[in-house]
Homo-oligomer: A and B are copies of this chain.
Amino acid sequence: MPQKVRIALDAMGGDHGPSVVVPGAEIALIRHPDSEFILFGDSALIEPLLVAHPRLKAASRVVHTDVAVKMDDKPSQALRNGRWKSSMWLALDAVKKGEADVAVSAGNTGALMAMARFNLRMMAGIERPAIAALWPTLRGESIVLDVGASIGADAPHLIDLAAMGGAMARVLFDLERPTVGLLNIGVEEVKGLEAVREAGRLLREEPLPHLDYVGYVEGDDIGKGTVDVVVTEGFAGNIALKTAEGTARQLAGYLRSAMTRTWRAKIGYLFAREAFRTLRDKMDPRKANGGVFLGLNGVVIKSHGGTDPEGFAAAVDMGYDMVRYELLRKIGDSLTRDARSAPRAIGGAAS
């Protein structure tokens, strides 16, 4: 039997802290019984919750700390007040020290990113980190990155994103040469797109060996699943992700109200209950919760701060998969290979 997957949890992260993290971890544990957990945080809050979740209790240990990064702390504040001692830092540190294989936090993104960079450091050859999201599409799933690690991107950074996203798709979707598109808008000759155009030119002229660059894609291509990997800078990527989640919630709301408005609709709902259940799962943005931090020497998963146990469990599942598939090592390997084969494309000067 292979070794267990060791998961470090920032139990204080997110809007609801341990009251979401503990039940969420138990849901994930039931799905992946070969997991074990270290929960970092206020043991006075965590321990009573563990009593109510005996399966998790049996598969975890608690490391107490009084210090928690607040959801509205700025990254600099978080580093100043929380380094060495906050639940977020300690979860990352467990990965650094090899005591855990992955850290999962629903804490504030900026602080988590700053601490992860500071503690785990960037992979060789990668300048800036990225957050990759797994996006459900009509064809299955795609990877979209960056969804908020940094804002703005020059051509070399976009190419780093393509390489990292391509590597992740290769491993996660088991593809030889995943298709990659650059997110763009359908307007030509508008100022401000130089970086996207330059990245497109480089990817065409000096192709990366392990991916199939297909050109520009637009916002509506994401849901279609036009490409396996959608590359964009973090501001637009984050807005795309949140907008899609908002739209899914909005349409689920329409559906609910349509199905309860008349007696005919209510009867229809009763007949189609099973179908609606499947549909609800597909429309539920919680199921796709969990962003993977890429470019760091360690696996870190960011869960939405406002999620519930089901959503947090999805983020833990993603961490589990990343470890089981050895994503980190494989991404590292293929980045090195890509860098060797197309040095100018990777290391090219900013446009």
Which residues of chain A have a CB within 8 Å of any CB of chain B? Answer: 72, 74-76, 109-110, 113, 137-138, 148, 150-152, 183, 185-193, 218-224, 232, 234-236, 238-251, 253-255, 258-259, 261-262, 264-265, 267-276, 278-279, 282-283
Contact = CB atoms under 8 A, between A and B. Distances in A.
Nearest to A144: B243
Nearest to A240: B243
A275 B265 contact: yes
A283 to B, nearest CB: 6
Contacts of A220: 242-243, 245-246, 249
Nearest to A241: B219
A241 to B, nearest CB: 7
Contact of A272 (B76, B239, B259, B278): B259
A221 B220 CA distance: 19
A82 B286 CA distance: 49
A-B pairs, 10 with minimum CB distance: A219-B242, A268-B272, A151-B192, A220-B246, A268-B271, A223-B246, A219-B243, A223-B250, A265-B275, A185-B238
Contacts of A138: 250, 253
Number of copies: 2
Contacts of A222: 243, 246
Nearest to A271: B268
A246 B269 contact: no
A325 B137 CA distance: 40
A194 to B, nearest CB: 10
Contact of A151 (B113, B193, B249, B261): B193
B259 A275 contact: yes
15 contacts: A74-B188, A76-B189, A150-B191, A185-B235, A192-B235, A219-B242, A219-B245, A220-B249, A223-B247, A224-B250, A244-B246, A248-B251, A255-B279, A262-B274, A265-B271
